[in-house]
Amino acid sequence: MSLRVAFLGLGAMGLPMARNLLCAGFPLTVWNRTPAKCDALRSEGASVAATPEEAARAADVVLVCVPSSAEVYDLLTRGDGILAGMEKGGTIVDCSTIAPTAAIEHERLCRERHVAMLEAPLSGGTAGAAAGTLTLMVAGDASVLERVRPVLSAVGKNIFYLGPPGAGQAVKLCNNLVFAAQIVAVAEAYALLLRAGIDARKATDVFLVSTADCTAVKGRVPVPGVQRAAPASNGWAPGFATEWMAKDLHLAEDFAKSLGVPVLQTALDHQMLRIAMQAGYAKMDLSVVGKMLQEWSAAATVDVSERPDGTV
């Protein structure tokens, strides 16, 4: 018998993930804080629950995808929340990106109610969510993962088991701090190239076969027209919004502080993203920091008549 699935949180990632579960044939119940977001899936065959408790009662596996630790905790523990409706032996899979310490605490709360909980933060952005090719960074009880693997396989292509509670969130935060560093470095590089009058397409061709090659160069060159599918060529539509990455870097800094690890580059990247948010780019793809730097460069007045060493 097919596992009954509920999905809570139909945002930019959650909606296409839920749709993939429905397409895979799982009996699906959905809930969202804004009920109107459930309408499309209702018309495609999903049941719509009035509360998280109602959704949990209709499911063997509940997937959660919301923005913050506080929202996950609220969904779990509120009077009409998941744990109020989940039967003993059920499984909750939290696909949110939250603090590792919060993930550990949530798993403990569920275990005390005889409900299994896995964390499975995601990588792959909205395109990966739509295509069902996400990477899932799973932590918790390995035997539970095997029980729900068919469900997770409907939303992700790469499923990694990483260890005890908290491990998945730790890997996700480290993954994102690396990606953020790429984005900021690429933003600076292209601002410099354009200011120097270099053809961005030709430079990209070089980078793709040189040591500069990375995820940000492959798909997020911050110059409109260089890459057809890049956010820069599509109105900066978010595959991963600036505000989402800023939130994750805040979590990464807190995690590093708790372990006594200095993360100076991450702090600088976080500051760059916060500036971009203040400039009105919070909802746009995080590669928009390249646009911001190019705007700063265009506004700058540079005297190139004399070099710093006094030569002309």
Show the beta-strand stretches assigned E in the chain.
Answer: 5-8, 28-31, 47-48, 61-64, 91-94, 116-119, 122-123, 134-138, 156-161
Could you tell me which of 244, 245, 225 has the C-alpha nearest to residue 233? 225
Contact (Cβ atoms closer than 8 angstroms) between residue 262 and residue 256: yes
Rg of the chain in Å (alpha carbons):
22
Tell me the C-alpha distance between 189 and 287, whole Å.
Answer: 12
Phi first, then psi: give them for residue 163, nearest 5 degrees: 130, -155
Q: Which amino acid makes up residue 145?
A: L
> In whole angstroms, what is the distance from residue 31 CA to residue 38 CA?
7
Catalytic residues: 172
Residue with tokens 């690396």: 178
Residues pairing with 285 in the sheet = 241
Helix, strand, coil % (nearest 5) of the chain? 55, 10, 35
- CB–CB of 10/30 below 8 Å? yes
Nearest CA to 50 out of 81, 27, 73 is that of 81
List the one residue out of 210, 222, 212, 228 whose CA is nearest residue 285. Answer: 222
Return the residue matching tokens 């596996």. 61
CB-hemisphere CA count at 13 Å for 136? 29
Nearest residue to 92 via CA among 153, 151, 134: 151
